[in-house]
Amino acid sequence: MEPESDSPSRFRLKGSIGLVVAVMVIAVLLIMLPAYRWFFLISVLIGLVIVGALSLWYKRHPIEEPDVHPKRPLGL
């Protein structure tokens, strides 16, 4: 039995090819649409603030062994 991925409506990009295509789409949008530049810049800045806040939080409040409740919920 063959997978259904041969149908023409399915288009999948995996791995590094998908990453390259995503970067190219972002680059084209940044060049072609001036409003998208502001949206992209604001989104990146918000992401960096969230990353900084989360990393600071977990440096000050590390996850310890008792905090992880069901390591083996089925008892296996």
Q: What is the pLDDT along the chain (76 residues), one digit of tens a residue?
A: 445 555 555 667 677 888 898 999 999 999 998 888 999 999 999 999 999 999 999 999 888 877 777 767 776 6
Q: CA distances (Å), 74 to each of 28, 67, 68, 71, in order? A: 50, 18, 15, 9
Is the entire prediction scored with pTM above 0.85? no
